């Protein structure tokens, strides 16, 4: 499906999935923590009450408390002499309440079981399968799951006897009355997870007396109705579910808006690229937020599109200029040969025609060689034979080479060249010097001067060639290194195709240097070439 191939919907899907997992995990954890907190508090209350029942069952009170009324039973009748009935004597070695004695709780323990509250705590005590005692609010059905008397973890500990002699004589028999799945307590270990189980709307704790020394088998059930707690937990569960659904809906809405906003530059990039591929190279990506990753990508693409447009423009201009430059000599050659072929001519006329064709062919050859040279530099295929070159000697040789041309133009050349060594191709560097000197002479005024200086500056060899010609207009100065560019007829020599400075710039750039032009109209032009000094010219 195309829907799942969309980056936007993939991000939205993963964002929604992560949000659902987080909300479900948080809601489940919160619900379980609240449920555990409520049940833990309830179980602690069950433990405490069960401990009181166990202690009362094992150690029946002596004295006045022993004669107290049984729990939920009417007070006992007094004897004829007005005294309270005495309990039956315990069997030797046993501390358990005899089965013939009614079970009763001390007032402090009975206060923990409110028989009038149907939702209060209740207890059930069975001995040898027969019910010994129960609170009136206890459920009528005895839990079948608690009849088996499973093995229980933990051992109940009784406090030391008053004489401090350690366990009393009946402690070994009482150590086997254990809470189910619980640790040892005087009742139970406070704060520990309870052994209680949930049966319908009841939370109950069951203990079994398995002491082989006791003649009785007692089962104690302590519980409470938890319908109110379960209702509260259901409300909490539905509340968490509702809040989670609202957060999920809000998160998906805000997430979709954020994803769409974040991917909006992608659509702008695609639209601009489509228009550019259709031929409109002037298109740019309109991005307002340039600090984001996509904004930075859009800025880079805009710069790339700008360079691409400039390259295509230059290519079109280059092709037009090259065709124009080649058309002139070809036209000359065709005109001369057509004229010679129209009728019979003498040998002198044929010679002049051939000479004119030769000059046109030479001009075409120079132009083609220059174009091939620039193409090799552009493609990085021009191989430079790098070696240590004495740039001062190269400048002196170039001045000597153009001296006849300077004398013909009436131009004086002054030279101040220090002996500096650079690393590069000597022939290519000589070509740069000769081109700059030739331009300085050709575009100088009659009787002018050409100043040539070579010096070391900040680890660079700096060559300056300045003439005293009419200069270059400020609007034309930034374009003097463009191919086939001419400022005006005064700066255009015969047969000059406008490629000399472009070739000089390509050679200097290939040597890791720079070339600049500075000019003032009517004051002349200065070209400055900077090249890295070689190791032989480095200062000691």
Q: Residue 462: give its domain's CATH number.
A: 3.30.565.10
Residues 6 and 128 in one domain: yes
Q: What is the pLDDT, as a whole number, of residue 514?
A: 92
Q: What is the pLDDT, as a whole number, of residue 84?
A: 44
Q: What is the pLDDT, as a whole number, of residue 369?
A: 79
The CATH number given to whatever domain includes residue 326 is 1.10.287.130
Q: What is the pLDDT, as a whole number, of residue 366?
A: 77
Contact between 216 and 118 under an 8 Å Cβ cutoff? The reply is no
Q: What is the pLDDT, as a whole number, of residue 69?
A: 45
By residue range, what is the domain housing residue 127? 2-73+94-161+169-233
Residues 21 and 127 in one domain: yes
Instruction: Give the list of residues 6+ apart from residue 226 with CB closer than 8 angstroms, or none.
Output: 42, 198, 201, 202, 203
Mean per-residue pLDDT pooled into runs of 10, the chain (540 residues):
67 86 92 90 88 74 45 46 45 47 71 78 84 82 50 34 39 36 34 64 81 68 89 92 91 83 77 79 73 76 82 74 74 84 84 86 80 73 82 91 89 90 89 89 89 90 91 83 64 56 87 90 88 62
For 221, the token pair is: 């059930």
Q: Per the domain annotation, does 31 fall within a domain?
A: yes
C-alpha span between 206 and 194 (Å, rounded): 11
Q: Per the domain annotation, does 246 fall within a domain?
A: no
Contact between 464 and 527 under an 8 Å Cβ cutoff? The reply is yes
Cα angle vertex 18, ends 15, 20, to 5°? 105
Residues 207 and 115 in one domain: yes
Q: What is the pLDDT, as a whole number, of residue 338?
A: 85
Residues 222 and 332 in one domain: no
What is the 3-state secondary structure of 191-237?
A: CCCCCCEEECCEEEEEEEECCCCCCCCEEEEEEEECHHHHHHHHHHH
Please report the DSSP string for 301-323 in residue order.
HHHHHHHHHHHHHHHHHHHHHHH
Residues 58 and 134 in one domain: yes
Contact between 494 and 482 under an 8 Å Cβ cutoff? The reply is no
Instruction: Give the list of residues 6+ apart from residue 93 with CB closer than 8 angstroms, or none.
Output: 169, 170, 173, 213
Strands (E), 102-162: 121-127, 130-134
Q: What is the pLDDT, as a whole number, of residue 487?
A: 61
Helix (H, G, I), strand (E, B) or coil at 299: helix
- What does the CA dihedral 400, 406, 407, 409 come to, rounded to 10 degrees? 170
Instruction: Give the list of residues 6+ apart from residue 325 with CB closer than 8 angstroms, or none.
Output: 367, 484, 497
Please give the model's pTM, rounded to 2 decimal places: 0.45
Q: What is the pLDDT, as a whole number, of residue 502?
A: 84
The residue out of 361, 379, 397 marking a domain boundary is 379
Residues 373 and 468 in one domain: no
Q: Per the domain annotation, does 87 fall within a domain?
A: no
Contact between 450 and 437 under an 8 Å Cβ cutoff? The reply is yes
Q: What is the pLDDT, as a whole number, of residue 158?
A: 36
Torsion over CA: 501, 503, 506, 510 (sign): negative
How many domains does the chain divide into? Answer: 3
Q: What is the pLDDT, as a whole number, of residue 145?
A: 45
C-alpha span between 518 and 527 (Å, rounded): 6
Nearest to 357 by CA among 326, 328, 336, 339: 336
Burial (0-12, 13-18, 19+ Cβ within 10 Å), 72: middle
């Amino acid at each position: 499906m195309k829907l799942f191939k969309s980056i936007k919907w993939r991000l939205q899907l993963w964002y929604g999935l992560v949000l659902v997992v987080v909300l479900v995990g948080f809601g489940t954890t919160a619900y379980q923590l609240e449920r555990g907190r409520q049940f833990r508090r309830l179980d602690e209350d069950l433990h405490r009450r069960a401990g009181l029942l166990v202690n009362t069952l094992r150690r029946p009170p002596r004295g006045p408390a022993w004669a107290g009324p049984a729990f939920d039973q009417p007070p006992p009748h007094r004897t004829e002499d007005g005294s309270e009935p005495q309990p039956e004597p315990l069997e030797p070695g046993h501390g358990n309440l005899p089965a013939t004695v009614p079970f009763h709780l001390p007032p402090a323990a009975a206060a923990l079981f409110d028989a009038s509250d149907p939702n209060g705590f209740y207890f059930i005590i069975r001995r040898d399968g027969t019910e010994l005692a129960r609170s009136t609010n206890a459920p009528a059905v005895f839990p079948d799951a608690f009849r088996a008397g499973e093995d229980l973890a933990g051992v109940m500990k009784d406090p030391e006897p008053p004489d401090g002699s350690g366990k009393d004589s009946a402690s070994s028999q009482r150590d086997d009355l254990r809470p189910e799945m619980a640790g040892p307590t005087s009742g139970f270990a406070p704060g520990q997870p309870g052994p209680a189980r949930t049966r319908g709307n009841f939370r109950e704790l069951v203990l079994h007396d398995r002491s082989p020394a006791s003649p009785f088998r007692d089962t104690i059930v302590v519980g409470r109705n938890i319908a109110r707690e379960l209702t509260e937990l259901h409300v909490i569960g539905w509340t968490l579910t509702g809040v989670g659904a609202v957060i999920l809906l809000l998160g998906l809405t805000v997430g979709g808006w954020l994803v769409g906003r974040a991917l909006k530059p992608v659509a702008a990039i695609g639209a601009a690229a489509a228009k550019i591929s259709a031929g409109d190279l002037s298109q740019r990506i309109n991005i307002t937020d340039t600090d984001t990753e996509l904004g930075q990508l859009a800025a880079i693409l805009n710069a790339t599109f700008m360079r691409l447009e400039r390259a295509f423009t230059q290519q079109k201009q280059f092709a037009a200029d090259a065709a124009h430059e080649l058309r002139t000599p070809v036209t000359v050659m065709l005109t001369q040969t057509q004229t010679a072929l129209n009728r019979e001519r003498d040998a002198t006329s044929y010679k002049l025609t051939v000479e004119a064709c030769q000059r046109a062919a030479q001009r075409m050859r120079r132009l083609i060689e220059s174009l091939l040279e620039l193409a090799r530099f552009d493609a990085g295929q021009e191989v430079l034979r790098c070696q240590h070159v004495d740039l001062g000697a190269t400048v002196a040789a170039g001045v000597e080479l153009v001296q006849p041309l300077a004398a013909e133009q009436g131009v004086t050349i002054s030279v101040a060249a220090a002996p500096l060594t650079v690393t590069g191709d000597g022939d290519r560097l000589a070509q740069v010097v000769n081109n700059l000197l030739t331009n300085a002479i050709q575009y100088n005024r009659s009787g002018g001067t050409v100043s040539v200086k070579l010096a070391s500056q900040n680890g660079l060899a700096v060559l300056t060639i300045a003439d005293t010609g009419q200069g270059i207009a400020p609007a034309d100065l930034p374009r003097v290194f463009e191919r086939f560019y001419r400022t005006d007829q005064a700066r255009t020599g015969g047969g000059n195709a406008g490629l000399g400075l472009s070739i000089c710039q390509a050679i200097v750039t290939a040597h890791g240097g720079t070339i600049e032009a500075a000019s003032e109209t009517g004051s002349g032009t200065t070209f400055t070439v900077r090249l890295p000094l070689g190791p032989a010219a480095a200062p000691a």
